[in-house]
Amino acid sequence: MSQEKRHRTRIHAGFEAYVTVGDEVIPVKTKDISLKGALLECTDECLLDKKCELHIPLSPGIRIVIEGEIVRAKNNTIAMTFKEMDELSFTELHRLVQLNAANPDDIDDEMLEIFEKLK
């Protein structure tokens, strides 16, 4: 891409996770993640425009669970846009991105921008 279209800070991270599409469970590994989406490596092909859930286990009893949609799938890589998550998952995702970002203060600004759009 010659012109960057993304408006969110993406962190490069290799977290073991899984995506559920209906009853199917697909093991994935995060390539990068932001407050609004993720790029995931997988061994199974996924269909576009499919609603799914991303589960990122952080520790026993703590996991990030995000509802979203697969917007791109190619060469065992899927792009997922986030649609909905509970408050705890959002808090954990925010911390995860902020702790791994080159400019952690930018993440708070991005979070405020997301909340402003929800009003």
Indicate the burial class of 65 (C-beta count within 10 angstroms; 0-12, 13-18, 19 or more).
Answer: middle
Q: Residue 67 belongs to a domain with what CATH number?
A: 2.40.10.220
Q: What is the DSSP letter of 36?
A: S
Percent of the chain surpassing pLDDT 90: 51
Q: Could you identify the residue written with the tokens 């954990």? A: 92
6 falls within a domain? no
Amino acid 58: pLDDT: 92
**Does 16 score more than 90 pLDDT?**
yes
What is this structure's pTM?
0.83
Amino acid 108: pLDDT: 81
Amino acid 3: pLDDT: 42
Split into its structural domains, the chain has a count of 1
Both tokens of 23, joined, read 């009853």
4 falls within a domain? no
96 falls within a domain? yes
Amino acid 39: pLDDT: 96
5 falls within a domain? no
**Does 6 score more than 70 pLDDT?**
no
Amino acid 19: pLDDT: 93
2 falls within a domain? no
26 falls within a domain? yes
Indicate the burial class of 57 (C-beta count within 10 angstroms; 0-12, 13-18, 19 or more).
Answer: middle
Amino acid 7: pLDDT: 63
Domain housing 67:
11-118
Amino acid 2: pLDDT: 36
Amino acid 118: pLDDT: 64
Catalogue the E-assigned strands of 13-89. 16-21, 24-33, 37-42, 51-59, 62-74, 77-85
pLDDT tens by residue, 35-84: 999 999 988 766 666 899 999 999 998 999 999 999 998 888 999 999 99
3 falls within a domain? no
72 falls within a domain? yes
